[in-house]
Structure 1
Amino acid sequence: MTILAPPHRKQSPPPGREGVRRAAPPDPRWARPALWAVLVLAAALYTWNLTSLSGNSFYDAAVYSGTKSWKAFFFGALDAGSFITVDKPPFALWVMGLSARLFGYGTWQLVLPMAAAGVGSVALLHRMVKRDFGPVAATVAALALALTPITVAINRDTNPDPILVLLMLLGAAALLKAVRTGRLLPLVWSAVAIGFAFNTKMMQAYVVLPVFFGVYLWAAQTSLGRRIRNLAVGTLALVVSSAWWMVVVDLIPAAERPYIGGSTDNTVWDLVIGYNGFGRIFGASSSVGAQGNGASFGGSAGLYRMFNDIMGGQISWLIPFAAVALVAGLVLRGRAPRTDAQRAGLLLWGGWFVLHYLTFSLAEGTFHPYYVTAMAPGIAALAGAGGVMLYRAFREGSVRWSWVLPAAVAGSAVWAVVLLERVSGTLYSVAEAVIAVAGALAVTGLLVGRFLKRRRLMGVAALAAVVALLAGPTAYAVSAVGSSPNGTNPTAGPGTGGMGGGPGGGGGQRPSASGMKGAPATSSAPTASPRSAGTRPTGGGMGGDTQVSSEMITYLKKHQDGATWLLAVATDQTAASVILESGEPVISMGGWSGSDDAMTLAKLKTLVKEGKLHYIVVGDSGQGSNAEITAWVKKHGTAVKSSAYGSTSASASTSTSTPTSSGLYRLDPSDVS
């Protein structure tokens, strides 16, 4: 249907004729100012009150350690002594680490690259949508992405997801260029971008791969044989760019590198297929990388998950409209040539959305709400591109299309009201009223304008529809900016139940430090010490319930006696907070959950004998090697009473002359037989 072709763009020429392509007409005068306005809005949302943000202390500690040691930097080690890595590959840590090395370690130095990645994603999505669907679609898509609540929240944090999204979009941009031109090189660059995304969050980067392969194989402007050959070369580039860090690390002898946190056999390969692979999808039912059910973070697994009380306000606002736009757009392009650029774009963004929706909805392993920020570009692109296609079909198509756009707007507006009815607060009440009024004006104006053939009225009604669709996300986005963030599990809007509640308006309960990565610190960014974190429990396993207080840290630093590591504790979250307060390397013996076999008795004896470790926290609990270590430390170590460091916490140790079975112990080379 000719009514759907962007008036200012022409289809790409066949391969080999790019040089004679006629220049596209200039954009409307409003297009560039509108883009800059969206980018300024995104930058303001992502960087407002930047120095007050705390970030995820689990990753913050790894970045800090990387500024002290290039070895820790390369491996993504939690501690500067490189005893154990975090449970993700290090590319995002490298980005933040370079910023910290350039500008100094602090809050804004770590968050700024993430905010920049978020703004870059908005700009890149605009460019991609504009190429095939025009400036109106591009502006709506960019605005929708910038205002997606969970995207605003995560771009103000130090989790790796903003880098992941930007890299995936770079891969998509190169892929669409490869589709338009049929050339190999853009496809290779697409594979490289996804490879870097893999080195940011491993298997999550591969969610889009099926649609990437499918779109290129179907729509690329070259012969079938050449498409297959190019995909084979691209796959090779993908494997190399994804696996190089993993291969290098696994080839290094275990004694010369950190333990791979989250793995069961101290290899990155096991981390890929287990903890960060099948374990995320199948949870406790998986034979590898079992993690248990993640319902406490994002609700129970199922097709309704994206619409539940926890997730609905984070991502679902535009899902009904995007779904209608995808189906309608594909129908409208049904008779277009195989290489039609608009249909290729719809297939890409539709596949992006659907694959992420199914993956996140059905995943039974650990699931955090902020994961779904990776789905936002697909939804936003469909809202912009599909919305423009629906509007043109409504305005110039047959009578049967006159009901699709009004119905899609009405349905999405009703869903937005349902979401806002779940929460309370003046901001959300105002947004609900705006949606009701703008939605009613949009639907009425569209139908009356169509019946009376008043195009200006239809245009005004379309603007009202945009207001109705984006008012709800805007309210949640503003709330994310104006409140103290949960750096561990960032969400936007008010708490709505479970552990997925955001910081915006009270409500939901935040998970304890033992259930989530990196309990946020309580004071400012580092000066001499990276961050003060008060009193932190060591978690289970070898650490028992002993608390590491600020007084204990002061004592440990005074009596470190040249040891490489200040202390050994049970889990990553405790080690991270102590690293950020003390500025010294701290050993996490059991990784994130306390169940990693990072520390063995033989390794502990070696560290003590070489004078690299003097202090360890152990408790009553533990099994296997943990129990063996605990028994040995209690037999050969010297219990440090709380009176030695002036602690007033009864649970930190004991103030009596009889040491308890849980607490801080000193080990010296003479203790090793």
Structure 2
Amino acid sequence: MTVVTESATAVTPPGDAAAPDPRWARPALWGLLLATALLYLVDLSSSGYANSFYSAAVQAGSKSWKAFFFGSSDAANFITVDKPPASLWPMELSVRLFGLNSWSVLVPQALMGVATVAVLYFAVRRRFGPAAGLIAGAVLALTPVAVLMFRFNNPDALLVLLMVCAVYAVQRALEAGRTKWLVFAGALIGAAFLVKTLQAFLILPALALVYGFLAPVRPLKRLGQLALATGALVVTGGWWVAIVQLWPASSRPYIGGSQNNSFLELTFGYNGFGRITGDETGSVGGGAPSGGTGARASAGGGTGTAGTGGSGAGGTGAGGTGTSGAGGTGTHAVTGTHAATGTGTGAGTHAATGAHQAFTGGGGMPGGGGQGGGMWGQTGITRLFGSEMGGQIAWLLPAALILLVAGIVLTWRARRTDADRQAFLLWGGALLTTAAVFSFMAGIFHPYYNIALAPYIGAVVGMGSVALWRRRQHPLAAWALALTVAVTGYWAYTLLGRTPQWLPWLRWTVLVAGLVAAVGLGLGSRIAALFAARSRRSALAAAGTVAGLALAACLAGPAAYAVDTVSTGHTGSLPSAGPGGMGGPGGMGGGHGFPGAGGGTGAGRTGGRQGGFPGAGAPGGTAQGGTPQGGFPGGTTAGGPGAWGAGAGTRGGREGGMGGGMGGLLNGTQVSAPVKALLEKDASSYTWVAAAIGSQNQASFQLATQDPVMAIGGFNGSDPAPTLAQFEKMVAARKIHYFIGGGGMGQAMGIGGTDPATQISTWVSAHYTAKTVGSTTVYDLTTPKSS
């Protein structure tokens, strides 16, 4: 606790970055980094390949330099992932060095997390001293969503590292108007563009405005420096894009996630403005292209009426009837004893009638309900505090907002180039712009995206708390600090109350400790005077006790969530941190999200047993995955390859299976030893040992065999690649050995876009004989049905 008990004169003076640190600072830093490394590395292999979609691409890039460059899903380079490839490159180099295994895939992510904590420490320490840097680093390290994603293989780990480095570079540029640091910041953001496209630009307005108004150089020079930084951004972010756009499409993989094989269309559509507006052609819930045809209904044995011009799918079939309209309005109903009914009108609910109740969600499928809710959950200013997001990121978000205001007030009358105010506006601006976009974006939004906020929250909390602590003799500063701790303690009490059966004692402990610490901070000057009568050492000890109690109260909640996250393996594309989060097979968990698998860890009324979406089958088949309880679709069908799910409820809910479609999205498809042996036989004679609808379905088989497997339709199964004619030509040339039944999340959800995967599935079932191996349906494409 000596970190926070130093007197104001003993702390590194503001603005003196070259001043020596106190003796405790360096050991404390190494302790923080060591503890972070242990937290991020312990039992790392429990998550296996984590998100198999990216792990399959890593496997491909470790076998083919062409796949490495383009970010292909398979080493034969049929289609890419739906992101640029930069986040894959560190993992692919690791696999090339150490072989394909869970550790070689995930260790680079964990090391990026440690590096991010270190960079944040040095950035905050530079202006506010080592105590502030340690607090900032600890807040980041213990944020549950950060613990999750620095142990996972989604692109966010590298994105966050580059973003923190970019803000730090701008901070260095602001110190003396240094051009090289600003250009370096532009280059870092350009590199981040090659990780997750336009998300890298969310903080650009804040960085540009702060530098443009507050840099200690002439206005014309500022404009010139910003222009040079923009040029660096364009070069580092554009070189790969230019090569891909100029490369002949016939000799490169299809750009996954796009509808016309264009990376620019992917960038500004599905991965760009579509995320803001919700109009994401080819995604779950996205509309069809203008004038296009909606996807068919995903009800086995039924008929579907296709919509046009962006309308969704409707139809009748086994399990009930359902229609979904464009723009987030419509109904999705299932009839039966335990039926689920719901309306999606922006503030929709997905409730249930009958003996079992389903979950409440905004506009139908995932996400919390409430005004402004859509397919991806409630939007609005309270979104980040809601049931899905709060436990991931919001533990110290109220504190950061209070301390940001306090920091601006403290520096309000300072000169224009005041470094402390620059820092508050820089990190606080990054926090506010990112939080605003996340709060109101209507498109795809998953809880794990919130990792982008974690370093900004940590920086503001570290800076603000130390700035107020230095002025704690002033009553307003003392009570502002007290308010921050009291609000944080009460908010932690609220968040912990959302999982009432999990550590019930902790929420009361945090609340009491926070309130006691708040009173101690508010009365700090009186307490100091009381103990000072005895000795200065007694006064410092009393202040240290109060500060330590405040830190413990503020960090106990996220720390408990962090430990729980580490103790649970996480797989699939929709991970979430903490108790009730989506872990490994058997459960989806989390209140007010997707309906969880019946045997999972989900809190509240989210289990597959309690209602969900109807079972689905292929045309001419009967749904076997959905049950009277309305579980998620899964399983193969009679009469054709399953429209959604490979295997009867593999790795799925207790009542309704989740196979290659939604189950693959969550946990991947389980590949049995007989299936693996079948695919590996004569594998070298074929370009692709198999083809499967949807990348998550494909990835499991590719990782099992380590041979190329074609992902028909890309991630969602909705990309127009290959067309039926192209697929027929490849089959005739004996390039593909097997077709794997099931998969195609996008088709089963009735999303927009062209539907070649459906045509291919129907063509295969008409011309080839189904064979069940274990729980997987396969078709030998070298042996057509006899006439």
Range of TM-score over shorter length: 0.7 to 0.9
Cα distance, 1:401 vs structure 2: 3.6
- Letter in structure 2 aligned against 1:616: F
User: 2:155 — aligned with what?
Assistant: 160
User: 1:664 — aligned with what?
Assistant: 779
1:226–1:291 CA distance, 2 compared to 1 (3 A): farther
From 454, 471, 475, the counterpart of 2:560? 475
Cα distance, 1:391 vs structure 2: 2.0
From 400, 409, 433, the counterpart of 2:485? 409
Q: Distance in 1 between matches of 2:773 and 2:757?
A: 26
1:251–1:289 CA distance, 2 compared to 1 (3 A): farther
1:235–1:9 CA distance, 2 compared to 1 (3 A): same
- Over residues 58-106 of structure 1, what are the superposed CA-to-partner deviations in whole Å (9 max), with x where a residue is unaligned? 1000001111111111110001100000001111101100011111111
Cα distance, 1:550 vs structure 2: 4.8
1:411–1:516 CA distance, 2 compared to 1 (3 A): farther
* Residue pair 1:536, 1:577 contacting (<8 A) in 2 also: no
Of stretches 219-228 and 436-445 in structure 1, the one that deviates more from structure 2 is 436-445
Cα distance, 1:337 vs structure 2: 1.4
1:144–1:447 CA distance, 2 compared to 1 (3 A): same
- Over residues 236-261 of structure 1, what are the superposed CA-to-partner deviations in whole Å (9 max), with x where a residue is unaligned? 11111111111111111111000000
1:547–1:539 CA distance, 2 compared to 1 (3 A): farther
User: 1:591 — aligned with what?
Assistant: 714
* Residue pair 1:260, 1:266 contacting (<8 A) in 2 also: yes
Cα distance, 1:289 vs structure 2: 7.1
User: 1:385 — aligned with what?
Assistant: 463
User: 2:399 — aligned with what?
Assistant: 321
TM-score of the superposed pair, with normalisation by structure 2: 0.73
User: 1:647 — aligned with what?
Assistant: 773
1:4–1:190 CA distance, 2 compared to 1 (3 A): farther
TM-score of the superposed pair, with normalisation by structure 1: 0.85
- Over residues 601-639 of structure 1, what are the superposed CA-to-partner deviations in whole Å (9 max), with x where a residue is unaligned? 33224323433223334689897544554555456x4x2
1:614–1:413 CA distance, 2 compared to 1 (3 A): same
Pairing 1:352–2:352 present: no
CA RMSD of aligned residues (A): 3.4
Pairing 1:438–2:526 present: no
User: 2:109 — aligned with what?
Assistant: 114
Q: Distance in 1 between matches of 2:563 and 2:74?
A: 36
* Residue pair 1:279, 1:289 contacting (<8 A) in 2 also: no
User: 2:666 — aligned with what?
Assistant: none
The within-5 A match list for 1:208-247 is: 208-247=203-242
- Over residues 175-220 of structure 1, what are the superposed CA-to-partner deviations in whole Å (9 max), with x where a residue is unaligned? 1111112121111111111111111111111111111101111222
From 499, 502, 509, the counterpart of 2:593? 499
- Over residues 331-357 of structure 1, what are the superposed CA-to-partner deviations in whole Å (9 max), with x where a residue is unaligned? 110111111111111001111111111
- Over residues 481-536 of structure 1, what are the superposed CA-to-partner deviations in whole Å (9 max), with x where a residue is unaligned? 122224432222111413379999653659979999999xx99xxxxxxxxxx995
Cα distance, 1:667 vs structure 2: 4.0
Q: Distance in 2 between matches of 1:607 and 1:366?
A: 34
User: Tell me, what secondary structure is at the counterpart of 2:203?
Assistant: helix
User: 2:15 — aligned with what?
Assistant: 11
Q: Distance in 2 between matches of 1:440 and 1:624?
A: 58
User: 1:448 — aligned with what?
Assistant: 523
User: Tell me, what secondary structure is at the counterpart of 1:196?
Assistant: helix
1:184–1:448 CA distance, 2 compared to 1 (3 A): closer
From 40, 47, 54, the counterpart of 2:41? 47
User: 2:418 — aligned with what?
Assistant: 340
Q: Distance in 1 between matches of 2:81 and 2:10?
A: 47
1:464–1:630 CA distance, 2 compared to 1 (3 A): closer
Of stretches 301-310 and 109-118 in structure 1, the one that deviates more from structure 2 is 301-310
Q: Distance in 1 between matches of 2:142 and 2:131?
A: 17
Q: Distance in 2 between matches of 1:283 and 1:242?
A: 25
Structure having the larger proportion of residues in strand = 2
Cα distance, 1:232 vs structure 2: 0.7
User: Tell me, what secondary structure is at the counterpart of 1:383?
Assistant: helix
Q: How many residues matched?
A: 622
- Over residues 298-342 of structure 1, what are the superposed CA-to-partner deviations in whole Å (9 max), with x where a residue is unaligned? 732222111111211111111111111001110110111111111
* Residue pair 1:61, 1:576 contacting (<8 A) in 2 also: yes
User: 1:16 — aligned with what?
Assistant: none
User: Tell me, what secondary structure is at the counterpart of 2:199?
Assistant: helix
User: 1:98 — aligned with what?
Assistant: 93
User: 2:350 — aligned with what?
Assistant: none
Q: Distance in 2 between matches of 1:91 and 1:550?
A: 33
* Residue pair 2:57, 2:72 contacting (<8 A) in 1 also: yes
Q: Distance in 2 between matches of 1:447 and 1:328?
A: 15
User: 1:31 — aligned with what?
Assistant: 25
User: Tell me, what secondary structure is at the counterpart of 1:140?
Assistant: helix
Identity of aligned residues (%): 42
The within-5 A match list for 1:618-637 is: 625-626=756-757, 628-630=759-761, 632-633=763-764, 637=767
Q: Distance in 1 between matches of 2:385 and 2:566?
A: 23
* Residue pair 2:282, 2:719 contacting (<8 A) in 1 also: no
Of stretches 177-186 and 482-491 in structure 1, the one that deviates more from structure 2 is 482-491
* Residue pair 2:693, 2:717 contacting (<8 A) in 1 also: yes
User: 1:484 — aligned with what?
Assistant: 569
1:576–1:6 CA distance, 2 compared to 1 (3 A): farther
Pairing 1:64–2:59 present: yes
From 523, 538, 548, the counterpart of 1:463? 548
Q: Distance in 2 between matches of 1:404 and 1:168?
A: 30
- Letter in structure 2 aligned against 1:405: L
- Letter in structure 2 aligned against 1:114: Q
- Letter in structure 1 aligned against 2:395: W
1:199–1:566 CA distance, 2 compared to 1 (3 A): same
User: 1:299 — aligned with what?
Assistant: 377
From 176, 179, 193, the counterpart of 2:174? 179
* Residue pair 2:258, 2:282 contacting (<8 A) in 1 also: no
1:416–1:628 CA distance, 2 compared to 1 (3 A): closer
* Residue pair 2:489, 2:511 contacting (<8 A) in 1 also: yes
- Letter in structure 1 aligned against 2:18: A
- Letter in structure 2 aligned against 1:330: I
* Structure 2 unaligned blocks of 5 or more: 1-6, 287-327, 329-360, 368-375, 530-538, 581-589, 613-631, 635-642, 652-656, 664-668, 749-753
User: Tell me, what secondary structure is at the counterpart of 2:402?
Assistant: helix
Structure having the larger proportion of residues in helix = 1
* Structure 1 unaligned blocks of 5 or more: 13-22, 524-533, 541-545, 654-662
Q: Distance in 1 between matches of 2:166 and 2:273?
A: 24
User: 2:446 — aligned with what?
Assistant: 368
The within-5 A match list for 1:80-95 is: 80-95=75-90
Q: Distance in 1 between matches of 2:281 and 2:102?
A: 39
User: Tell me, what secondary structure is at the counterpart of 1:587?
Assistant: strand
Q: Distance in 2 between matches of 1:669 and 1:465?
A: 71
Q: Distance in 1 between matches of 2:509 and 2:595?
A: 24
